[in-house]
Amino acid sequence: MIRSICDQMAHRGPDDSGYFDSEGIHLGIRRLSIIDVDHGAQPVFGERERVVSVLNGEIYNYQSLQSQLRSRGHSLRSDSDSEVIPHLYEDFGVEFTSHLRGMFATAVWDADRKLLVLARDRVGEKPLYYHESEGQLWFASELRSLLKSPHISREIDPATLYQYLNFGYVPDPLSIFSQVKKLSPGHRLVWQAGNTTIERFWSLRYRPESDSFDLTDAELGEQFREKLVEATKIRMHSERPLGAFLSGGLDSSAVVAAMAQVSVEPVKSFSIGFADQNFNELPFAREVAQIFGTDHHEFIVEPDALDVLPQLARQFGEPYADSSAIPLYYLARMAREHVVVALNGDGGDESLAGYTTYKHFIRVPPGWRIPATLVRGARILSQFTKKSDRVPMRLRVFSGKADRLVASQPWERFGQLTSNFTPDVLNRELRPDFVKLLSGIDPFAAQRRIWLDNSETDPINRMLALDVGTYLPGNLLPKVDITTMAVSLEARSPFLDHEFMEWAAALPGTLKLRNGTTKAIMKQALNPWLPEHLINRKKKGFSVPLDSWISGPLQPMVRDLLGNKDSFAGQYLDNIQGILDDPTTSGKQVYSLLMLELWAKEVLQT
């Protein structure tokens, strides 16, 4: 059974496999060989082979950890990063996680104590699913592979499906199946004699609002560059070919610039584009590639690329509705023809206030309850502008945001700004029998907890905490992990380095979002590396022409799957055809229903 589960994930590790079987424990691993290619096989063992572990991911500080372990008398058999883990456990017990700098999902078995530790990296770059019942614990890096176990049913969790319809992804610690959970980022699970304990070993602490701050912009810029270069450099250690995703946006351009500072050879860069120039950033990526003399590669995503949607539905294993997974998959596939490791710019927005959502949110003071008349006015304006092509685009954008800023609580407003279907819309569209199952469920409970837990910092940092705690591990990081590992490519993210994130969290929010300028710190810091017109150009984001695809090449698939009277989504939504026919329904909303239907077809019903 363990081998069957691992074979289901062969794309994550096509180079090698390893297994450990002993009384009460069965471990399996698929390996993508990158560090100590010849001798780094897993599982790996401690001194007396009484501690054994497997690792998915990379430990970037493994060389310094090796030196420390050897100085304390440990004997290491390889030069691999994974081998430091069992030895660290021997010295520090479950606290070994605090010594790791990297992205990881790891399992450690202590044979003497009959104790298992599962741990997931601080921000959730690597996934870890688990199921516990009848004294057994099953776990894996992908949900679909875990379903190979006959002990796990495919019963859907109604609360999870509701969360998906809200946000377009399934937030931790939930999975779409009621019997499977995700281990949350920065947490470890300890299992012994059938008893489970889950505890947090890391959380990001933001600067208290009352703390003084006296660094100059020049000093901040120097710190930013130093820390980014250092976080980038340790992610460039690889025995296999390495390159970078280059979107032309600020984050990926900054990473390529940092790579160029330390690389002795031209950086290999990879970019994706669209025929629709409103979404095409290839000219900017090309300019950055020329500035730093990269070995540059490009690919144009055409609408016929939508044939990949069923495959993506299978790969994610649970409903997932971020359409940028489409170009990211093709970008990863192109890059894999040349490299095995690719650095990217993910995480910069969440640490340094890069999303325009923050500007919309901050215009409404926290704690201010919008009058009921303004609430109704905003909703009417929103509906009218969506139906009329003659309304100026600026007003259309404003009214759409205003409609999502009407909630009385700040965490609800922020959640609605980032949701697909708001609770108000869902409550009108869901079937009554499904609504009864949702009694007492608050879709923004996680946002509420994070907002209140960060009450000592300023509103901007509180918004960043919301994204780091929800959107980043729920949407962005699964997208990167699944699409890259689907083609056996490892993605590494310097901006997600926990030491860099802790530095950024210690800065006042007003330095990150300054006078309406997003990423103010970063833009000032990049002046020595990039020209002004690239630094200050309007943010596009890694998005696709979804509305035109939905009304064009995707329309037959939408009609075939969602127009079917026996559709899966129809079990939960009262009038799907009405939603599709409504001129105010966005392409993003239709896409979320389409991916739900594809998931049901490709995973649930197979």
pLDDT per residue over 458-498, tens digit each? 999 999 999 999 999 999 999 999 999 999 999 999 999 99
Q: How many domains does the chain have?
A: 2
Per-residue pLDDT of 249-269, as tens digits, reads 999 999 999 999 999 999 999
Among candidate residues 485, 504, 535, the one where a domain is terminated: 535
> Minimum mean pLDDT among 32-41, 82-91, 320-329, 378-387: which range?
378-387
The count of residues in the chain is: 606
Both 188 and 248 in a single domain?
Answer: no
Among candidate residues 149, 167, 200, the one where a domain is terminated: 200
Q: In the prediction, which pLDDT does 565 show?
A: 84
Whether 393 has a pLDDT exceeding 50, the answer reads no
Both 191 and 272 in a single domain?
Answer: no
Give the distance, in angstroms, between the CA of residue 91 and the centroid of all CA atoms in the same chain.
32
Average pLDDT score over residue span 68-72: 97
Both 101 and 223 in a single domain?
Answer: no
The CATH number of the domain holding residue 294 is 3.40.50.620
Residue that has been written with the tokens 């300054």 in this structure: 514
Both 239 and 342 in a single domain?
Answer: yes
Q: Is residue 604 part of a domain?
A: no
Average pLDDT score over residue span 223-245: 98
Token duo for residue 588: 């993003």
Task: Please tell me whether residue 135 adopts helix, strand or coil conformation.
Answer: coil
Both 196 and 114 in a single domain?
Answer: yes
Residue 585 phi, psi (nearest 5) = -70, 130
Q: In the prediction, which pLDDT does 346 show?
A: 97
Q: Is residue 75 part of a domain?
A: yes
- Band (17; pLDDT cuts 50, 70, 90): very high
Which one, of 371, 425, 362, lies nearest residue 573 by Cα?
A: 425
Per-residue HEC secondary structure of 284-345 comes to HHHHHHHHHCCEEEEEEECHHHHHHHHHHHHHHCCCCCCCCHHHHHHHHHHHHCCCCEEECC
- Band (389; pLDDT cuts 50, 70, 90): low
Both 29 and 122 in a single domain?
Answer: yes
The CATH number of the domain holding residue 70 is 3.60.20.10
> Minimum mean pLDDT among 5-14, 236-245, 404-413, 442-451: which range?
404-413
Q: Is residue 368 part of a domain?
A: no
Average pLDDT score over residue span 220-238: 98
Average pLDDT score over residue span 414-441: 87
Residue 208 phi, psi (nearest 5) = -60, 140
Q: Is residue 247 part of a domain?
A: yes
**What is the full DSSP assignment across 165-210?**
HHHSS--TTB-SBTT-EEPPTTEEEEEETTEEEEEE-----PPPTT
Average pLDDT score over residue span 423-435: 88
Per-residue pLDDT of 174-206, as tens digits, reads 999 999 999 999 999 999 998 999 999 999 999
Both 196 and 284 in a single domain?
Answer: no
- Band (403; pLDDT cuts 50, 70, 90): low
Per-residue pLDDT of 309-359, as tens digits, reads 999 999 999 999 999 999 999 999 999 999 999 999 999 999 999 998 898
Q: Is residue 542 part of a domain?
A: no
Both 67 and 189 in a single domain?
Answer: yes
Range of the domain at 108: 2-128+183-200
Among candidate residues 490, 512, 535, the one where a domain is terminated: 535
Q: Between 375 and 397, name the one with better pLDDT.
A: 375
Question: Average model confidence (pLDDT) for the chain?
Answer: 91
Q: Is residue 358 part of a domain?
A: no
Task: Return d(Cα 53, Cα 28) in angstroms, integer.
Answer: 10
Both 111 and 243 in a single domain?
Answer: no
Is 290:253 a contact under the CB 8 Å cutoff? no
Q: Which residues contact 33 (CB under 8 A, 6 or more apart)?
A: 15, 16, 40, 239, 240
Give the distance, in angstroms, between the CA of residue 32 and the centroid of all CA atoms in the same chain.
20
Q: In the prediction, which pLDDT does 221 show?
A: 97
Whether 550 has a pLDDT exceeding 80, the answer reads yes
Both 90 and 224 in a single domain?
Answer: no
Q: Exposed, middle or buried, 393 (CB in 10 Å: 0-12/13-18/19+)?
A: exposed
Both 272 and 343 in a single domain?
Answer: yes
Is 218:512 a contact under the CB 8 Å cutoff? no
Q: Is residue 18 part of a domain?
A: yes
> Minimum mean pLDDT among 10-24, 440-454, 508-522, 548-562: which range?
548-562
Distance separating the N- and C-terminal Cα atoms of the chain? 18
Q: Is residue 238 part of a domain?
A: yes
